[in-house]
Amino acid sequence: MTNPKNYVRTKRSCFFTYVAMSSVFSLPPVLFVTFREMYGISYTLLGTLVLINFCTQLIVDLIFTFFTKYFNIHKTIKAMPLLTSAGMIIYALAPVMFPGKEFIGLATGTVIFSVAAGLCEVLLSPLVAAIPSDNPERDMSTLHSLYAYGVVIVVVTSTLFLKFFGTHNWMYLTFFWAVLPIISFILFCASPFPEVNLTHDKEATDAGKRTFGLFLCVLCIFLGSAAENSMTNWISGYMENALLIPKVWGDILGMTSFAILLGIGRTLYAKYGKNISTVLLCGMTGAAVCYLIAGFSANTIACMIACVITGFCTSMLWPGTLIMMEEKFPNPGVAAYALMAAGGDFGGSIAPQILGAVVDKVSASSFAADLSQTLSLSVEQIGMKAGMIAGSLFPILGIALLVFIKAYFKKVKSR
């Protein structure tokens, strides 16, 4: 049996890379308001950047789902951080490379670093799973918890930078975050790699049952990712424009607190967790309640608390579904992880885009104009709240799905 100590550096490299990759997801939302003010980019187009991010990852996921055997996994993992840095550099140079058409530059950079993000999601989880461990569930939960703590670091550092150096210097901030993936590249080059299972062990379960069961897991991670990423991408703008909280406090108290609770939830499961199906059901239920409070409550404090607590509620929805999949289908292989990542990325892409479209549509409607006079709210505030109500649909559907999943696998097991 392989000595786990041989791969300590490899595991730590994966952990650091997840922290470094968090800037790909958390930095753009911090800059959304800056892009709107400096370049006149609409909320719908800002949502489109999120859509581009996750759709690009989705394409990468699907490529690995069907063509895994054509890739050198170890070389691909090493190249991944360099792609991240290249994309972020182009992102930062958007105003210089595309003056007057900054959105094109932002979209181009997003595509490139999103390819790397897709590779990260597809390859790091099975790489960590392939490393010999006494507690593989703990390692998986720890990996995803470090992403959340990375978000905290990125948001706090970025918010303070923009506060003291001005939003007009946002590109220098992006250059700074482009350095961390280069460190990941160096770490991977100095780390041994275990053999990673590329295909599922088909003898472990009936093919038909596996296909439908895996489909249920993909649908679950889709809804879980939608519930998490809707709030992740809009909490900053919601607090600033709907709750009228200054940006620096909205980012620190809102987005950062969200990420802290996201990390705490995953850390707690890594240490004490069990009964993942129950954890997922509770998470979906809590997220649905939080979205509805944010959408309907007129109390600023209650809305802010609901947004933040969503981080804890959604903390295990992505990694927890991976754990559930591993429990139901031992030795799933890279292709199964890629398919799961595809489901998660699709949820993470479509949900923020839907919220952005809802905000713009409702804000421009006569309904919002009439309601704003009755409630003494601006049309933009009403639009933001409508977006939160729309966001509640994903965890509500997730509750129904998890109830069905529990009954389905119980029935399959009894046969």
Question: Residue 136: which domain range?
Answer: 8-189+204-414
Query: Does 277 map to a domain?
Result: yes
Of 30, 34, 265, 304, the residue nearest 148 (C-alpha): 265
Residues in the chain, pLDDT under 50: 1, 202-205
Report if residue 172 sits inside a domain.
yes
What does residue 245 show for φ and ψ, rounded to 5 degrees? -95, 135
Residue 1 lies in a domain: no
Task: Give me the pLDDT at residue 414, please.
Answer: 64
* Confidence (pLDDT) at 203: 45
Read off the tokens for 320. 């927890």
Half-sphere exposure of 60 (CA within 13 A, CB side): 24
Q: Classify each residue of 335-359 as buried b or exposed e, where b means 16 or more C-beta atoms within 10 Å of its C-beta.
A: bbbbbbbbbbbbbbbbbbbbbbbbb
Which residue matches tokens 């965890």? 395
Question: Any idea what the CATH number is for the domain that residue 293 is in?
Answer: 1.20.1250.20
Classify residue 198: in a domain, yes or no: no
Asked if residue 147 belongs to a domain, the reply is yes
Enter the pTM of the model: 0.78
For residue 322, tell me if it sits in a domain: yes
What local confidence, expressed as pLDDT, does residue 236 receive? 78
Give the H or E element holding residue 172. helix 170-177
Q: How many CB atoms lie within 10 A of CB 5?
A: 8
Q: Which residue has tokens 């489109």?
A: 48
Residue 3 falls inside a structural domain: no
> CA 64, CA 44: separation in Å to the nearest integer?
30
pLDDT at 209: 60
Give the count of domains, the chain. 1
Q: Write the DSSP string, 96-115.
A: HHSTT-HHHHHHHHHHHHHH
Output the pLDDT for position 208. 55
- pLDDT of the residue at 377: 86
Does residue 135 lie in a domain region? yes
Q: Tell me what the pLDDT averaged over the chain comes to.
A: 86
